[in-house]
Structures are given as structure tokens and as C-alpha cells.
């Protein structure tokens, strides 16, 4: 299979940006979701509906993505699995997850989960992520383009 972009598509805010970069580079995109969603009707975009089982989309992506592929996800445990398989992993804001950064991302995620679950915190001290911005969108576009160029160069 050629190099592929795997898009963890449920709640993904950068689908149109992904189409744009993938088309420019001639890369296929596997749009992996728990339910049907609209995707461009082109031969290089494939919607993969995995069903509603917990982590079904994550499992499908992690079983297939490897070196030379790009995975786009906001799911830190999925990012960890894909980094370990050698894939290039990007967050929706263009943040790259790699061997050096994934441990801290997992620890932060676990800490925030514990704080939210704490009866003392009652959700008040953790808030949520900042709203997704145009700056995030631009950073993602650049990061995806750069990741593909790096893979093409064999770096």
C-alpha cells in the first residue's frame, strides 16, 4: 500500500485541510469513523466505517498505520500506539507526537483525567481545551505538508 494519511475522523476539525494537502501530494486518505459522514467523492479518499464499539476506529488505525504513513488524531493513546509503530503522528493543531513527546502527552492526559474525576475538583479547576482557532488550522496545514515532504525525502 502507498503512503497513506489515516484520519481519526470523529470530531476532527481539519478534514478540509487534509483533503487539500493530500490532493497536492497525491496521497490517499483513509477517513476512519464510527458512523457514516460525508467525504469528497474522489478515488483517493476512502471512508472506513468501523462501527460503534469502543476504540474501534483507534484499533483499525493502529493495526494498519506504520512507517511512511501519517496519522491525524486528537486521541493521545492512539497517538502513542501509532508512534510506536513508526507512523508520523499529528494533532489537529499541527503538534507532532514522537518518541520524545508522547510520554509527557500521556502523563498530562492522565493527570487531567484524574483531576476531572476528583470529587474535590468537580470539573471546575480543569476547564477544557481552548477553542480551535484559525492559527491552529494554519499550523496543521503547515505541519501536514512538512511531514509528507519529510517522508518523501526519506528523513
Tell me the DSSP string of 16-62. HHHHHHHHHHT--EEEEESS------STTEEEEE--SSTTHHHHHHH
Q: Can you give the pTM of this predicted structure?
A: 0.84
Which pLDDT tens digit goes with each residue over 48-85? 999 899 999 999 999 999 999 999 998 889 999 999 99
CATH of domain 5-98+134-153: 3.40.50
Domain edges within the chain: 5-98+134-153
Provide φ and ψ at 55, rounded to 5°.
Answer: 65, 15
Which pLDDT tens digit goes with each residue over 85-142? 999 999 999 999 987 776 665 556 555 565 566 666 554 555 666 788 999 999 999 9
Amino acid at each position: 500500500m502507498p503512503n497513506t494519511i489515516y484520519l481519526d475522523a470523529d470530531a476532527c476539525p481539519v478534514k478540509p485541510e487534509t483533503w487539500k494537502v493530500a490532493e497536492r501530494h497525491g496521497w490517499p486518505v483513509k477517513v476512519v469513523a464510527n458512523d457514516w459522514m460525508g467525504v469528497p467523492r474522489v478515488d483517493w479518499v476512502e471512508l472506513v466505517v468501523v462501527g460503534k464499539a469502543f476504540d474501534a476506529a483507534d484499533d483499525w488505525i493502529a493495526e494498519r498505520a506504520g512507517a511512511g504513513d501519517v496519522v491525524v488524531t486528537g486521541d493521545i493513546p492512539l497517538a502513542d500506539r501509532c508512534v510506536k509503530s513508526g507512523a508520523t503522528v499529528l494533532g489537529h493543531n499541527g503538534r507532532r507526537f514522537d518518541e520524545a513527546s508522547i510520554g509527557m502527552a500521556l502523563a498530562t492526559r492522565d493527570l487531567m483525567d484524574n483531576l476531572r474525576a476528583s470529587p474535590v475538583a468537580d470539573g471546575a479547576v480543569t476547564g477544557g481545551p481552548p477553542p480551535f482557532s484559525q492559527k491552529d488550522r494554519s499550523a496543521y496545514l503547515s505541519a501536514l505538508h512538512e511531514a509528507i515532504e519529510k517522508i518523501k525525502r526519506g528523513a
